[in-house]
Amino acid sequence: MTMVYWETASTGGDQPEVRREFVQIWRAAEKIVYSRTLQAVSSARTRIEREFDPDVIRRLKESSGAALRLAAPSLPGRR
């Protein structure tokens, strides 16, 4: 649910510029959630992938014209 917060976060003039910019970036971003248990996404521009495949990420990175960001409480294969 932490990620969904940014879908409705205020971008009013009372918010710091850095926050308004982040909200705009978040809403425009294509997001991939890796989960074997999540049944549906509740965030726009988001899709679920069941298996983490590093080769898919490498190809995405090579073909993307934009910066990629990876965030997770625990990354697959990390020791």
Token pair, residue 48, equals 């679920």
At 19 the pLDDT is 92
At 63 the pLDDT is 92
Number of H helices, E strands in the chain: 3, 2
Contact 11, 24 (CB under 8 A): yes
* pTM for this model (two decimals): 0.71
Domain boundaries, the chain: 5-63
Alpha carbon 67 to chain centroid distance? 12
At 67 the pLDDT is 80
12-63 confidence digits (pLDDT tens)? 999 999 999 999 988 988 888 888 898 998 888 999 999 888 898 889 889 9
Phi and psi (nearest 5°) for 32? Answer: -120, 130
